[in-house]
Amino acid sequence: MTRVIITLFAGVILTIGCASRTILASDAWAQEAENVPEHFMVGKHNGFEMIEPTADDGCKSPMIDPRDSTKINLFRSFDGRGDYEVPKGKYGVEKGHILRLDCNTGKVVGIFKK
């Protein structure tokens, strides 16, 4: 009986140890984005109304390019950085890649693989 309990306990520990949380690739791996705004604005869900991003308010979706109202949508976030899916052909982002923003400022960090 003791052997069974020890085996089950070891299995639980291994399972917990294999669990992971999302950690984004380092900003040092960024590819440079093209033709981006100075910063993106936070979009309201009722159209194209925009407000400035605020520090420590988390990553919002959608974010909007204030120059032409292009909306980008949050794919994932971690530690004040947000990875956003963008319309095809925008900002130099190719298929299978995302645009990373600093969520506190709306400024572009760069392009990363999904």
Taking only the tens place, the pLDDT of each residue in 60-113 is: 999 999 999 999 999 999 999 999 999 999 999 999 999 999 999 999 999 999
Q: Which residues contact 31 (CB under 8 A, 6 or more apart)?
A: 92, 97, 110, 111, 112
Q: What is the pLDDT of residues 57-73, one digit of tens each?
A: 999 999 999 999 999 99
Instruction: Give the pLDDT of residue 48.
Output: 66
pLDDT number for residue 29: 72
CB 63 within 8 A of CB 43: yes
Q: Which residues share a beta bridge with 42?
A: 51, 63
Backbone φ and ψ for 60, nearest 5 degrees, come out as -105, 160
Residue 83's alpha-carbon distances to 76, 78, 101, in angstroms, are: 5, 9, 7
**Tally of CA atoms within 13 A in the half-sphere of 100 that contains its CB:** 21
What confidence tens digit (pLDDT) does each residue in 16-57 have?
344 444 456 677 778 899 999 999 999 987 766 899 999 989
What pLDDT sits at residue 30? 80
